[in-house]
Structure 1
Amino acid sequence: MRGRYERGGRVGRGEREAVADGVRLYEAARAVAGDHARAVDAVRAALKPLHDAAVARELDALPVSRLQDVTEGRLRLGNVEKNGFGTVGRVLDAGAYRLRQIPGVGQRTADQALAAARRLAEAVHETVAVRIDVDRPEPDTTALVTALHVLVEAGPGARRAVDRAAALAERMGPPLAGAKPAVGRFRMLLAGQEKRARALAAVAEVRELTEEAAREGLPELFAQASVDLLRGPSSEVAAWVDFELRSAEYYSLLAEISGRLPDAAAAEGFLPEGIAERVRAQQLDDTHRRVSLRGYQAFGARFALAQRKVVLGDEMGLGKTIQAIAVLAHLAAEGQSHFVVVCPASVLVNWTREIEARSALRAVVLHGPDRHEAFADWKGRGGVGVTTYEALRGFPAPGGGEVGLLVVDEAHAVKNPQAKRSQAVALWAERCERALFMTGTPMENRVGEFRNLVRMLDAGVADALGGQGGPVGSVAFRKAVAPVYLRRNQEDVLTELPSLQRTDEWEQPSASDDAAYREAVYAGNFMAMRRAAYARPANSAKLERLREIVREAGENGQKTVVFSYFKDVLSVVKDALAAELAGGGATVCGPLDGSVPAARRQGIVDEFAAVPGPAVLLAQIQAAGVGLNMQAASVVVLCEPQIKPTIEHQAVARAHRMGQVRPVRVHRLLTTGGVDERLVAMLEEKSRLFDAYARRSAVAEADPDAVDVSDTELARRIVEEEQARLGAGDTSEGRPVPDRP
């Protein structure tokens, strides 16, 4: 028998060790999965009481009349409401027996009312989201934050480990089972020749899988993930501090674990099914990425990869930068080595920080006096070259296939095809196989401007949008542009975002305000009209209201950002607040305006965020309303209405964005009876156009150019109308001055 065994196949120490190594790897993979499952179960257990309480609050706020909606008006609930059961929650708590005690309510009515209430309760249970109040750390929310902290701290590495562990366990399980006879001599002696051959083949497969895992560093990955998943926070305070710093990651995990993800169609930008299906099939490699993605963000990255040249038009605050970095990381994993990001100078620092923090890629700043040396270094060594529109013009355009991806941030800045910056970007986009244009405002005044952006990416799609034969109306427009355009809105995909409260602060102008305004109108000076409310600070109605807002915010420990188009208005505000806050301990940062070097702008925002108590950041809206993140502020003040609605939206989105943990209050300071009233009416009309064409909308069909008015024409019209209203005589001589701050 011994001879037959030796001829059929010999098992020795090497085979036994190979199987033992495979078993250890298999058990490590299963341990990672178990550790992760326990961490997830801890989050679910902490979430349940908070979610149940949120459902109860929602049901207690629903009037009992909503039950008629569910039953199409068949229920008669007047007596139910009169007897103190005025909400759906109260009806559910009462139960059938208590409801039947109400005069006029029989068995059938009680049963129908309860059935309708349960249907509403099920809907609320599926849709209500838990919001974590950082200012009121109750025991239940603290338990949830600490449970989430384990998974957030473990980071993308743990998720990658769990995914790889699941795949390895699936592959390793069958050969380990087949290799069992090979772990002992007597089993092999008793096994038939065919069974011995299968066992040795299984051993070979186990050895191959183990060696492959070792080459990929999986044993170390699994061990580190288990350590991270078993390590709790150093303290509850540490968990809360980390939550405030990285709330977006906490909420992302919470949405995933709770299953309360945004509507799939909304997360996919309501793309046609054919395109959406192709995007879903696109793989996304996370090897070089150091941040987890939300579902809609992963879809956005896949969209850019699948469609190759696109506009990502997500609303401000949804993480377009993270999506771009995910695309860069994927392409780097595929072997691409050179990438370029083009952005405004104000966000150069932010881009380099994000690339280095969120990925393993090398960021190279191609800006400043040494930009050509830096460009040569980037050409030789590769990485992500981060440059500005102006600097890009000085670099030679790449050859075909040289640049893996061109990212153009705030791409609406290149909407004018006659501008040199636009021509430079267009040339680079033509020479690159992939291009990702990013903008939350793809169209400011007219659809034609958006068409110009699309032409740089896909001339065929652009042609389909133009002229008499183009699509008419927002629905047809969005369908035509779907191959190159993806947009999602905050309200559709960020269910946890704190509330945004907008208040128009209408002030009656003081006598001195009115006098300054009349002088500006008589002079035909549009820009002076816009800032007349601050021309005489001693008696400024707007300035007095601004002081009150800042004072109230400070008393509540809140930070405030004050935006104005005009540098001289910010100077007036700074003087007024310095006197107001003198001795109060509050800090005034800025002003952050166009004269501040790009590298310094992020530093000012960081200083503002680092102030431990109340603080005020003064910012010129053009310089700080784009790119910089100001989640530290929960109060926003707009000193005057802007000419474009997108300028206001961008400014507000600097604070009300993913990562904000407090409700945001926005105060727009306005004076009655003059240019502010006219601008507000115009902004509402421009917003309607933007909603119809750039956002998902069911607005009725309309001519895309119907409300287009250039800024100069708008200023001229308002000046003439105000001169006529105030009896300034011959309005033909009044001309607005150039639009300068």
Structure 2
Amino acid sequence: MGRAEREAVARGTRLHEAALTLAGDHERAVDAVRAALEPLHDEAVAQALDAIPVARLQDVTDGRLRLGAVEQSGLGTVRAVLDAGPYRLRQIPGVGQRTVDQIVAAARQLAQAAGETAAVHLDVDRPEPRTTALVVALHVLAEAGPESHRAADAATALTRRLGPLLADARPAAGRTGLLLAGRARKARVLEAVAAIRSLTEEAERAGTHELLAQASVDLLRGPAGDLAAWTDFELRSAEYYGLLGEIAGRAPDTAAAEGFLPDDIAERVRGLRLDDSHRRVSLRGYQAFGARFALALGRVMLGDEMGLGKTIQAIAALAHLAAGGRTHFLVVCPASVLVNWTREIETRSTLRAMPLHGPDRQDAFTDWRERGGVAVTTFESLRGFPEPDGGELAMLVVDEAHSVKNPQALRSQAVDRWAAHGEHVLFMTGTPMENRVAEFRNLVRMLDPGVADRLEDGTGLAGSVAFRKAVAPVYLRRNQTDVLTELPSLQHTDEWEELSAGDEEAYREAVADGNFMAMRRAAYARPEKSAKLGRLREIVREAGENGLKVVVFSHFRNVLSVVEDDLDTKDTKDTLVGAGPGAHGRVFGPLTGAVPPARRQQIVDEFTAASGPAVLLAQIQAAGVGLNLQAASVVILCEPQIKPTIEHQAIARAHRMGQVRPVRVHRLLATGGVDERMVRMLERKARLFDAYARRSAVAESTPDAVDVSDTDLARRIVEEEQTRLGLSDERPAPTP
């Protein structure tokens, strides 16, 4: 044995030790989460069993049990039966040993089911020591990111392969280890050394040493403070719940998570392994299945209910294809979400995002054709680009795909032509299509004409087994209640919009006048061209299609009037307020400061009592305090507010005790102007508010630590915007 063999074994030993260290670090972080979760889960199970009456034991035993004596003894719930135990049950007159055995077995069966389904909810507004401990433990893994999970998987694989090889190669580590070994033994050692050398060289090429070292550093930073952990949880709660579900191992119903697909299709999807090397976000189980569905079946429609992360599933599919060497991808979406798509791609993956929009879109398109990446464009812009020749387009993603349901529309024809050239095509829509077979068939025809031909008008009944079976090769839809076992109670989304030309004109006029309030509402000054209004309309439409109620908040009465007029226009009525299931329902309000308090409550009561979807328009100061808006599942903030307290109080009207559905908050923001500056300036104050809002006594005693001076903020923003736009030569005094 020479120096080369000894060095190969030494390098393999160092890699093995690094892998063992990382695996241990990751396991300790996971164990910390499990330890913090256990008492909370046990309590959730106990509460679930406390809510199950003893009579339910009959269901488990097909009605064979006689439970009258048990109930008369005061044991009214399944939890009470389990706490009592066999001995106390046996003391109840008329209850024999056989009955006791049956009762206990049935109760344990229900307890096992409760243990598998009980969900732990983390209430950001009412933290307590046990939930704080869990959030802090999760924060370690969330901060380390999906790279740490990838590193842990790599470490496990390395230790499994290197351990036996190093044991076989041990004689080669010394100068005299093989002097007395026979020929067969020497051959085995040399074979192990060669395998070790191959593994270490492969690890060096892949950068595995650096991956393991960085992951260990990330995991050993130690837990953050309580406030930092809770603040981060609120900002990205979906990632925390994803980690929690993965570690807890209590997945939602598999059939529901897989959209009740037929077994043969589901099995085909399960067999595909996602490559996450270009992804920067962890996926929940149903999200990973959705990405694999798109990849395995090639040309599909993802119809998940709003709030389930369709965008992330699409990015996961793009990242997988990129890892396999594919280079050109195209996302087509409404102009109102183009900025969001670009930011999500850049944040959630390592892929290059290229917006093809605006006056330079043709140059950007040429650059994309030459260099590749994820191009993001609008339905309108797509019509101006030459279709790809050959197989360069690895995946076409079409967001809000219901927008191309009319085959006669030019945008639909453009999408159809591009879809014909895409190796993979993913249509995305949160609109349930089961009751609109004709429209659905038009979309499916772009994906798979054969499936479209098999769709008959009678197969569209909601929940129809025939419909699910007919569309299974192209359509996957999951609902929140089916797949989110640990449902985030509050989800924030910042909707960044690029101002239209009309918006820009109104904004420049407001900046030139030094009018801060006019700057804040400039995005609605030209309603017919308003980018924010277009996005608001889409959110309201999708919420209505899913039967949800919406409350729209603005500081400005005239903005609410613009929204009201837009929702009441003929075109909007045709798409939103028709008799079909997609109607957004009646528009209530606007509820403003001029409305007497008694009338305000009456409006809220009418909104709550309305059957099905509805929209309530409310001035944020008038509705932010004292009213209960928990009938709303979707909250839209038309603009950022000057004080974090204002937004928090308004959201709290909907997100409060008694809310049975998660609340989604959409804050409409415009890029490059007053909104962006306000968000940046208020970020620190908002983080402080996150702390103080949970401790009302502190908040009341230290208001200066929470709110911001309106006048000072207005002056600073007006001056900065006048300078940025070259309007500072004649600078009027700002008017807050």
TM-score by length of 2: 0.70
Q: State whether residues 489 and 662 of structure 2, in contact with CA within 8 Å, keep that contact through their aligned partners in structure 1.
A: no
Counterpart for residue 726 of structure 2 = none
Tell me if 1:75 matches 2:108. Answer: no
Counterpart for residue 351 of structure 1 = 341
Structure 1 unmatched ranges of 5 or more: 1-10, 506-519, 553-562, 587-600, 619-631, 638-649, 657-661, 663-741
How many angstroms apart in 2 are the aligned matches of 1:361 and 1:167? 27
Q: Deviations over 1:615-653 (max 9, x none)?
A: 2899xxxxxxxxxxxxx677289xxxxxxxxxxxx9976
How many angstroms apart in 1 are the aligned matches of 2:17 and 2:463? 59
In structure 2, relative to structure 1, the CA distance for the partners of 1:578 and 1:279 (3 Å cut) is closer
Tell me if 1:335 matches 2:325. Answer: yes
In structure 2, relative to structure 1, the CA distance for the partners of 1:137 and 1:499 (3 Å cut) is closer
How many angstroms apart in 1 are the aligned matches of 2:344 and 2:549? 33
Counterpart for residue 640 of structure 2 = 607
In structure 2, relative to structure 1, the CA distance for the partners of 1:386 and 1:606 (3 Å cut) is farther
Correspondent of 1:277 among 244, 267, 279: 267
Q: State whether residues 407 and 435 of structure 1, in contact with CA within 8 Å, keep that contact through their aligned partners in structure 2.
A: yes
Task: Output the amino acid matched with 2:178.
Answer: M
Task: Output the amino acid matched with 2:646.
Answer: P
How many angstroms apart in 2 are the aligned matches of 1:504 and 1:363? 32
Task: Output the amino acid matched with 1:310.
Answer: V
Mapping of residues 286-305 of structure 1, within 5 Å: 286-305=276-295
Task: Output the amino acid matched with 1:387.
Answer: T
Correspondent of 1:545 among 589, 595, 601: 601
Correspondent of 2:167 among 170, 177, 185: 177
Question: What is the deviation of 1:195?
Answer: 2.7
How many angstroms apart in 2 are the aligned matches of 1:540 and 1:651? 30
Counterpart for residue 375 of structure 1 = 365
Q: Please, which moves more after superposition, 366-375 or 299-308?
A: 366-375
Q: Deviations over 1:197-236 (max 9, x none)?
A: 4323322221221111111100111111122222222312
Mapping of residues 626-705 of structure 1, within 5 Å: 635=654
How many angstroms apart in 1 are the aligned matches of 2:403 and 2:282? 30
How many angstroms apart in 2 are the aligned matches of 1:233 and 1:430? 51
Q: State whether residues 166 and 196 of structure 2, in contact with CA within 8 Å, keep that contact through their aligned partners in structure 1.
A: yes
Counterpart for residue 217 of structure 1 = 207
Between the two proteins, what is the percent identity of the paired residues?
A: 65
Structure 2 unmatched ranges of 5 or more: 491-546, 552-567, 579-584, 628-634, 668-689, 691-736
Q: Deviations over 1:94-141 (max 9, x none)?
A: 223333443433444334333322222222122211111222211111
Question: What is the deviation of 1:444?
Answer: 7.7
How many angstroms apart in 1 are the aligned matches of 2:131 and 2:70? 35
Correspondent of 1:360 among 341, 350, 356: 350
Q: State whether residues 83 and 102 of structure 1, in contact with CA within 8 Å, keep that contact through their aligned partners in structure 2.
A: yes
How many angstroms apart in 2 are the aligned matches of 1:319 and 1:162? 25
Counterpart for residue 459 of structure 1 = 449
Q: Deviations over 1:470-510 (max 9, x none)?
A: 999922222121111111111111011156998899xxxxx
Q: State whether residues 365 and 386 of structure 1, in contact with CA within 8 Å, keep that contact through their aligned partners in structure 2.
A: yes
Aligned length in residues: 568
How many angstroms apart in 1 are the aligned matches of 2:459 and 2:466? 12
In structure 2, relative to structure 1, the CA distance for the partners of 1:145 and 1:443 (3 Å cut) is same
Tell me if 1:29 matches 2:19. Answer: yes
Counterpart for residue 35 of structure 2 = 45
Tell me if 1:426 matches 2:401. Answer: no
Q: State whether residues 182 and 188 of structure 1, in contact with CA within 8 Å, keep that contact through their aligned partners in structure 2.
A: yes
Q: Deviations over 1:446-468 (max 9, x none)?
A: 21100000001111111111479
In structure 2, relative to structure 1, the CA distance for the partners of 1:64 and 1:26 (3 Å cut) is same
Q: State whether residues 400 and 433 of structure 1, in contact with CA within 8 Å, keep that contact through their aligned partners in structure 2.
A: no
Question: What is the deviation of 1:542?
Answer: 10
Q: State whether residues 150 and 233 of structure 1, in contact with CA within 8 Å, keep that contact through their aligned partners in structure 2.
A: yes
Q: Please, which moves more after superposition, 376-385 or 325-334?
A: 376-385
Task: Output the amino acid matched with 1:277.
Answer: E
How many angstroms apart in 1 are the aligned matches of 2:465 and 2:622? 53
How many angstroms apart in 2 are the aligned matches of 1:150 and 1:534? 45
How many angstroms apart in 2 are the aligned matches of 1:236 and 1:296? 30
Greater Rg over alpha carbons, structure: 1
In structure 2, relative to structure 1, the CA distance for the partners of 1:616 and 1:470 (3 Å cut) is closer
How many angstroms apart in 1 are the aligned matches of 2:103 and 2:279? 52
Correspondent of 1:85 among 57, 71, 75: 75
How many angstroms apart in 1 are the aligned matches of 2:33 and 2:213? 22
Secondary structure class of the residue paired with 2:179: helix
Counterpart for residue 726 of structure 1 = none
In structure 2, relative to structure 1, the CA distance for the partners of 1:440 and 1:24 (3 Å cut) is same
Question: What is the deviation of 1:253?
Answer: 1.4
In structure 2, relative to structure 1, the CA distance for the partners of 1:537 and 1:125 (3 Å cut) is closer
Q: State whether residues 402 and 431 of structure 2, in contact with CA within 8 Å, keep that contact through their aligned partners in structure 1.
A: yes
How many angstroms apart in 2 are the aligned matches of 1:220 and 1:531? 57
Correspondent of 2:226 among 236, 249, 256: 236
In structure 2, relative to structure 1, the CA distance for the partners of 1:315 and 1:236 (3 Å cut) is same
Secondary structure class of the residue paired with 1:613: helix
Counterpart for residue 732 of structure 1 = none
How many angstroms apart in 1 are the aligned matches of 2:234 and 2:33? 18
In structure 2, relative to structure 1, the CA distance for the partners of 1:195 and 1:463 (3 Å cut) is same
Question: What is the deviation of 1:655?
Answer: 6.5
How many angstroms apart in 2 are the aligned matches of 1:180 and 1:206? 11
Question: What is the deviation of 1:68?
Answer: 2.2
Q: State whether residues 123 and 489 of structure 2, in contact with CA within 8 Å, keep that contact through their aligned partners in structure 1.
A: no
Q: State whether residues 434 and 467 of structure 2, in contact with CA within 8 Å, keep that contact through their aligned partners in structure 1.
A: no
Task: Output the amino acid matched with 1:545.
Answer: Q
Counterpart for residue 556 of structure 2 = none
Correspondent of 1:494 among 469, 484, 487: 484
How many angstroms apart in 1 are the aligned matches of 2:435 and 2:457? 17
Task: Output the amino acid matched with 2:354.
Answer: V
Q: Deviations over 1:40-98 (max 9, x none)?
A: 12211111111111111111221121122223223332233233221111122222333
How many angstroms apart in 2 are the aligned matches of 1:341 and 1:304? 14
How many angstroms apart in 1 are the aligned matches of 2:8 and 2:46? 57
Secondary structure class of the residue paired with 1:365: strand
Mapping of residues 236-635 of structure 1, within 5 Å: 236-443=226-433, 446-466=436-456, 474-498=464-488, 544-545=600-601, 573-574=618-619, 607=640, 612-615=644-647, 635=654
How many angstroms apart in 1 are the aligned matches of 2:592 and 2:222? 58
Correspondent of 1:128 among 118, 135, 138: 118
In structure 2, relative to structure 1, the CA distance for the partners of 1:491 and 1:532 (3 Å cut) is closer
Q: State whether residues 15 and 183 of structure 1, in contact with CA within 8 Å, keep that contact through their aligned partners in structure 2.
A: yes
TM-score by length of 1: 0.70
Q: Please, which moves more after superposition, 205-214 or 80-89?
A: 80-89
Q: State whether residues 464 and 471 of structure 1, in contact with CA within 8 Å, keep that contact through their aligned partners in structure 2.
A: no
How many angstroms apart in 2 are the aligned matches of 1:425 and 1:378? 18
Secondary structure class of the residue paired with 2:49: helix
In structure 2, relative to structure 1, the CA distance for the partners of 1:502 and 1:585 (3 Å cut) is closer
Q: Deviations over 1:660-680 (max 9, x none)?
A: xx9xxxxxxxxxxxxxxxxxx
How many angstroms apart in 2 are the aligned matches of 1:543 and 1:401? 62
Counterpart for residue 145 of structure 2 = 155
Task: Output the amino acid matched with 2:399.
Answer: D
Q: State whether residues 304 and 327 of structure 1, in contact with CA within 8 Å, keep that contact through their aligned partners in structure 2.
A: yes
In structure 2, relative to structure 1, the CA distance for the partners of 1:614 and 1:99 (3 Å cut) is farther
Task: Output the amino acid matched with 2:601.
Answer: R
In structure 2, relative to structure 1, the CA distance for the partners of 1:241 and 1:537 (3 Å cut) is closer
In structure 2, relative to structure 1, the CA distance for the partners of 1:459 and 1:471 (3 Å cut) is farther
